[in-house]
Structures are given as C-alpha cells and as structure tokens.
C-alpha cells in the first residue's frame, strides 16, 4: 500500500522545516533556489529523513541535455552527474534548472517523523520532491541507463520535514513505479482540466508523462471526445498507438508550430477546427521550443498545460500575446493532492498502459 506524506512539522523551526539550515549559498535562499547545499549525512538534524540512495530518476529534459553534451557516452554522463552533485550538493542541472527524484531505503528517521511518515528504517521509498532541493551526497555511480533516464548510485539523500515521500508499492516493478512517480503531477491535473466530450492534444504523447496524460484524457473526455497525440520519436509514437488512448498519434515535430498545428487540427476533425482549436493542449516534450505550437492549436479561452520543464515562460506569455490568443497558460505543478496514488491507480486500471510501461521500465 502506497503512502504519501506532505509533512508539516509545527514543532520544528522554520529553518529546519524548509531546509534553510542546509543552504550554503546564497544566504537566505530556500534550498530549491540555492546554488549550493550542505549534503553531508553526518549533520542530519532531528527533523530530517536520511535515505540510502540506490537509483536517481533524472528529469527527462536534464538527462537529454547532459547526454547530448556527453555524446551519449554513459561514463561521461556519470562523471557529469558526479560533478554537478559534488559542486552543488544536489542534482540540479545548471542548464535546464531541473532535477528528478530518487529511490532508496530509509536509513534513519527520528521518532516524531517516523510516525508522521508511517515509515521505519529499511522501508523502500521514492522522494516526491525534486532533486533540485534534495541534499545529495554521492559516493559512486554504478550504472547509467540512458534509455530510462535512471542512474544507479551509492550515496545518501536528505528529505526535509516539509517534503514528501512515497512508500514504494509492492505490486509493481520498482523501476516502473519510480518512472510513474517522477511525473505523478501530470495526469491528475489533466483529469481536472478535461470534460466529457471535450478535445485534447498532447505533445510528446509517447513519452512517459505523455502516455499517462493521454490515458487520463481519454478517461476524461470519454468515447465522444477527441484525443490527438504528437510524437517525434517513431518508436514512442508506435507505443502510444499500441496503448490506444489517442484517436490518432501523429509523427511530427512539436517545435514546428504551423505544420504541427495544421496537422493536429486536421486530424481532430471538423468540430475541433470549427471551435478554433482544442479545449486543452498539454506539452509533455523534453525539448525547448514547443510553446507556440501548443498555443496555436488551442481554442480561444482554452487551456494550455505546460508540464514540460523545457518550457520558457517568456516564449509562452509573449507568444500568446503576439498572436492575440486569449488562452489560460498553466505551469505543470509537480505536486497535486494524492498525485502518487492517483497516477499509480491510473496505471493499474489500464492494462495497455501498464504493459507498455513494463516493457520500457521493468
């Protein structure tokens, strides 16, 4: 049984609760915005949870950037990750600004927090807060898996009392569950945005968040609605077609606004074209430059949901203004209530989705 805990330690100081005591520079910054954290396991305070880390699930935009800089050489990728963590005390890619999350085993936990988390030493957990604010100390890189963006390591990590962790489910392969938990915020938030009979387009529909979002969108719009996927990687497009959540999956480039908007609207059919676009467009790509495609294909007063970490606020805001498009632009919050449980439940009730994720991650 999965258990997720957003802790609120009233009896701890503000500094300890939010991890300010771990910030080395700049003074006064919160850990996410900090340049450097003190990640030493020896200085664990009573409010913290110490995890023996086994696997890092590196954010897709970050892994893509590091891999490309390292020419897909796994040893070089490992060294680049060790270098970032050594310098910053956390895995926050200086180019993309993004992190990821991790899997490990509870090493030590104070009695008060053990009760709040419902955890004990030895329990297997995944962090539900970003690596961009998680103090991380790495002793070694064991293996780099470029295909799944997972990196097996030896080290320790710290979760602050304001953070959140999930006990790993026992009915799903751990690497699969880790991958789902990394993008757990996406599908539950899309569930809130879509309505029966509505229309949705997903950019990056064959990636892991894209597959989950498409499944949630299909459930939300029902058989009378329209779900169109766009995916540039042929094997991922085929996977999305196999899962079957989308009415059509287009092989195309989400960074080519006019071409892809025309193709998606034409695939969606007359009602969507007549409405001026989709009700909801979700960007799940891991590359920069998809903002305008998403905005162009959204109807007036529709919603664009940018889950992608490669999204530029300036390109989205100025892009919408530039074409006089009155749409709601939403930033994909990594957290929403019960996101871990809801995303795992979605996977469990969709056999096609589960089979595809097993194939990819298990």
Scanning residues 213 to 242, which ones bind ligand NAP (CB under 6 A)?
230-233, 236
185 touching ligand NAP, by CB under 6 A:
yes
Q: CB 178 → ligand NAP: shortest distance, Å? A: 11
Buried b / exposed e over 71-105, threshold 16 CB at 10 Å, is eeeeeebbebbbebbeebbbbbbeebebbbbbbbe
- Which 126-165 residues touch ligand NAP, going by CB under 6 A? none
Query: How is residue 87 annotated by DSSP?
Result: H
With a CB cutoff of 8 Å and minimum separation 6, the contacts of 52 are 104, 105, 106, 107, 155, 156
Among 183, 246, 250, 280, binds ligand NAP (CB under 6 A): 183
Q: What residue is closest to ligand NAP based on CB?
A: 207
d(CA 94, CA 61): 12
**Residue 291 in the binding site for ligand NAP (CB under 6 A):** no
Q: Dihedral sign for Cα 59, 296, 319, 301, please.
A: negative
Nearest CB to ligand NAP, comparing residues 231 and 247: 231
Closest CA to 131 of 56, 43, 61, 51: 56
Span near ligand NAP by CB under 6 A; candidates 18-26, 29-37, 262-270, 280-288: 280-288
Stretch that binds ligand NAP, among 37-45, 106-114, 206-214, 215-223 (CB under 6 A): 206-214
Question: Min. distance of Cβ 327 from ligand NAP in angstroms?
Answer: 18
Contact indicator for 260, 287 with CB cutoff of 8 Å: no
Residue numbers 298-337 binding ligand NAP by CB under 6 A: 307-310, 332, 334
Structure tokens at 85: 């963590």
Alpha-carbon Rg for the chain in angstroms: 20
Contact 182, 57 (CB under 8 A): yes
Cα–Cα dist 16/275, whole Å: 51
Among 207, 229, 277, 302, binds ligand NAP (CB under 6 A): 207
Cα gap 122→150, rounded to integer Å: 22
Question: What does the alpha-carbon distance between residue 300 and residue 340 come to, in Å, rounded to a whole number?
Answer: 32
Of residues 123 and 150, the one with the C-beta less far from ligand NAP: 150
Q: What DSSP letter does each residue of 4-71 carry, written as one string?
A: EEE---TTS-HHHHHTGGGEEESTT--TTT-SEE---GGG--TT-EEEEEEEEEE-HHHHHHHHHHTT
43-51, 151-159, 181-189, 267-275 -> range binding ligand NAP (CB under 6 A): 181-189
CA angle 310, 312, 313 (to 5 degrees): 140
Q: Quick one: 12 or 92, whose CB is closer to ligand NAP?
A: 92
Among 98, 132, 150, 248, binds ligand NAP (CB under 6 A): 98
- Closer to ligand NAP by CB, 7 or 282: give it: 282
**60 or 350, CB closer to ligand NAP?**
60
Closest separation in Å from C-beta 96 to ligand NAP: 7
- The residue (of 15 and 242) whose beta carbon lies closer to ligand NAP is 242
Q: Annotate each residue in 56-75 with x if it binds ligand NAP (CB under 6 A) or - if it does not, as one string.
A: ---xxx--x-----------
**Residue 208 binds ligand NAP, judged by CB under 6 A:** yes
Q: Which helix (H) or strand (E) holds 313?
A: helix 313-322
Q: How far is the CB of 277 from ligand NAP (least distance, A)?
A: 18
* Minimum gap (Å) between residue 64 Cβ and ligand NAP: 6
Instruction: Using CB under 6 A, list all residues that contact ligand NAP.
Output: 59-61, 64, 98, 182-183, 185, 203-204, 206-210, 230-233, 236, 253-255, 284-287, 307-310, 332, 334
């Amino acid at each position: 049984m999965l258990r997720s805990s957003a802790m609120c330690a009233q009896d701890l100081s503000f500094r300890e609760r939010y991890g300010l005591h771990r910030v080395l520079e700049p003074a006064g910054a919160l850990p996410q915005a900090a340049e450097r954290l003190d990640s030493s396991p020896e200085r664990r305070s009573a409010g913290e949870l110490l995890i023996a880390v086994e696997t890092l699930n590196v954010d897709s935009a970050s892994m893509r950037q590091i891999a490309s800089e390292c020419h897909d050489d796994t040893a070089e990728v490992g060294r680049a990750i060790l270098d970032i963590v050594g310098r910053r005390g956390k895995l926050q890619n200086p180019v993309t600004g993004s992190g990821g999350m991790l899997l490990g085993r509870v090493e030590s936990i104070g009695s008060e927090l053990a009760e709040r988390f419902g955890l004990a030493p030895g329990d297997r957990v995944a962090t539900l807060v970003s690596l961009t604010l998680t103090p991380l100390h790495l002793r070694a890189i064991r293996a780099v898996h470029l295909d799944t963006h997972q990196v097996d390591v030896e080290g320790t990590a710290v979760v602050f009392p304001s953070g959140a962790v999930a006990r790993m489910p026992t009915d799903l392969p751990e690497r699969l569950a880790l991958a789902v938990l990394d993008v757990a915020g996406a599908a539950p938030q899309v569930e809130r945005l879509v309505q029966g009979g509505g229309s949705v387009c997903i950019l990056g529909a064959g990636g892991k968040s894209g597959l989950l979002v498409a499944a949630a969108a299909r459930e939300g719009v029902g058989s009378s609605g329209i779900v169109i996927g766009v995916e540039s990687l042929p094997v991922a497009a085929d996977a999305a077609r196999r899962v079957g959540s989308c009415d059509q999956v287009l092989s195309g480039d989400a960074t080519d606004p006019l071409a892809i908007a025309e193709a998606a609207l034409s695939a969606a059919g007359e009602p969507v074209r007549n409405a001026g676009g989709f009700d909801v467009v979700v960007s799940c790509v891991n590359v920069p430059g998809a903002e305008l495609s998403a905005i162009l294909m959204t109807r007036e007063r529709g919603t664009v949901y940018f889950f992608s970490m490669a999204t530029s606020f300036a390109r989205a805001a100025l892009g919408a203004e530039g074409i006089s498009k009155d749409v709601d632009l939403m930033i994909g919050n990594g957290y929403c209530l019960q996101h871990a449980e809801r995303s795992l439940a979605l996977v469990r009730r969709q056999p096609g989705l589960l089979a595809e994720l097993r194939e990819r991650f298990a």
